[in-house]
Every structure is written in structure tokens, then in C-alpha cells.
């Protein structure tokens, strides 16, 4: 070390240590977290619609299952008397009833079938026949049963829905020909039973009312 006149002593600078690895001269910028993209409104609407459709479908299936379960175990018995009518026990009456139930069983698969002529002593006998089984498609099977009447008497025309009453199911009435005159024909079907009634000498409205009365007396559910 040497001294210079008028100056402070000159010293050697201390060495500066540098890290062996490269390093940044500035602090790294913080990474920006991308904000979540808002869910598409269209997608939300579609998902909501699918959910609503799914719930509605489940409700329909549940209701259909309940309806089948509540209707399938039915019993059909021809009442001895109903609405002033009684079973015609004559040979002709028994033969007609047996024929009707046999013809129906040939067209519609039934576990048990019944048939009879109900009479009040006048010329307004009612031909009633039907049966019980598990019916998956009541309306379609009822259409098949009306086809049986069409084969024997001529086509049933003007078929239309009528109120089925507290027992539910589907009920229809129409008109066919018998000896050249109009004859009302009514039928009902649910998931446990099916029946038809033929009403010579009566109006269609009277036939529909009487048919519901007969059904109330003939049909029970277990």
C-alpha cells in the first residue's frame, strides 16, 4: 500500500462473490390465474330443459305404474239384478251368454270370461259380456273387442269416448245395426278388465248411463 501526498490511503477493493448459477436481475412477475369462464347461458338452459324432461318422464312412468297396479287385480261377476234387469236363465239366454263370452275370449286373451243376457221382460234385453286379465293396452284391446261386434252385426260407427266413472279406464260408445235398426254398443277397458254391452231398443245416451250402472255392480278390485 502506498500513500499519496494530500490523499487518503488507497485500498484494494474486496472481491464480489457471484453465484455460480445464472440468476435474474429482476424479481419474476407473479403468474396471473386465469379467471373462470362464465358458463354459457345456452348450456344452462339446455341442461335445465333436460332435467325437466327427465323429471317429467319419471313422473309419467311412476303414474303409469301406479295406475296399472291399482287396476290389474279385477273381478267381474254378472249381477243377479241391476237397474231393474235380471239374468235371463232360459235356454236361449244361457246359450247366447256362453256364445258371447266364447267369441270375446277368441279375440282377446282373458283369464276369465263371463257373458249373459240381462232382461226386464220387455224387448230391451241387454247383452253383456267381458272378462278379466292383466291388460297392458286397454284402449287397443277395446278396439279389438269392438271388432268382434262388427264381424257379427256390421261395423260399429261413431265410436267416441264417454265418461268412465269412478272406476276409471277408458269407455266408448258407438252404434251398429241390428235387424235394420240402430243399436247402441258400449265398452270399457282398464288394466284389469274389459267388457261390452249391446243395447237394442235404447238410445245411445241411455245405453251409456245403464252401462256404467252395470259396471259398478259387476266389477270389483282386490
Query: Does the global pTM surpass 0.75?
Result: no
Cα distance between residue 194 and residue 192, in whole Å:
7
In the numeric block, the cell 236361449 is attached to: 92
Cell numbers for 48: 335445465
Q: What is the pLDDT of residues 155-203, one digit of tens each?
A: 899 999 999 999 999 999 999 988 888 999 999 999 999 999 999 999 9
> Buried b / exposed e across 133-164, counting CB within 10 Å, b at 16+?
bebeebeebbbebbebbeeeeeebeebeebeb
Q: What is the mean pLDDT of the chain?
A: 81
Q: What is the pLDDT of residues 84-133, one digit of tens each?
A: 999 999 999 999 999 999 999 988 889 999 999 999 988 899 999 999 99
- State the pLDDT at residue 177: 87
Amino acid at each position: 500500500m502506498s500513500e499519496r501526498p494530500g490523499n487518503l490511503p488507497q485500498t484494494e477493493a474486496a472481491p464480489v462473490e457471484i453465484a455460480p448459477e445464472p440468476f435474474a436481475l429482476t424479481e419474476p412477475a407473479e403468474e396471473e390465474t386465469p379467471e373462470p369462464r362464465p358458463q354459457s347461458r345456452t348450456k344452462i338452459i339446455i341442461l335445465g330443459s333436460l332435467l325437466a324432461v327427465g323429471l317429467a318422464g319419471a313422473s309419467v312412468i311412476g303414474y303409469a305404474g301406479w295406475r296399472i297396479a291399482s287396476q290389474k287385480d279385477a273381478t267381474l261377476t254378472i249381477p243377479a239384478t241391476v237397474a231393474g234387469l235380471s239374468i235371463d236363465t232360459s235356454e236361449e239366454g244361457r246359450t247366447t251368454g256362453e256364445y258371447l263370452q266364447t267369441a270375446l275370449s277368441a279375440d282377446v286373451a282373458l283369464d276369465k270370461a263371463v257373458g249373459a243376457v240381462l232382461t226386464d221382460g220387455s224387448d230391451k234385453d241387454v247383452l253383456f259380456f267381458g272378462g278379466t286379465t292383466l291388460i297392458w293396452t286397454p284402449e287397443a284391446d277395446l278396439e279389438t273387442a269392438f271388432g268382434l261386434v262388427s264381424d257379427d252385426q256390421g261395423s260399429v260407427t261413431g265410436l267416441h269416448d264417454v265418461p268412465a266413472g269412478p272406476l276409471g279406464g277408458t269407455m266408448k260408445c258407438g252404434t251398429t245395426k241390428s235387424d235394420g235398426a240402430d243399436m247402441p254398443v258400449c265398452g270399457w277397458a282398464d288394466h284389469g278388465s274389459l267388457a261390452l254391452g249391446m243395447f237394442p231398443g235404447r238410445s245411445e245416451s241411455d245405453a251409456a248411463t245403464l252401462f256404467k250402472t252395470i259396471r259398478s255392480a259387476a266389477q270389483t278390485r282386490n
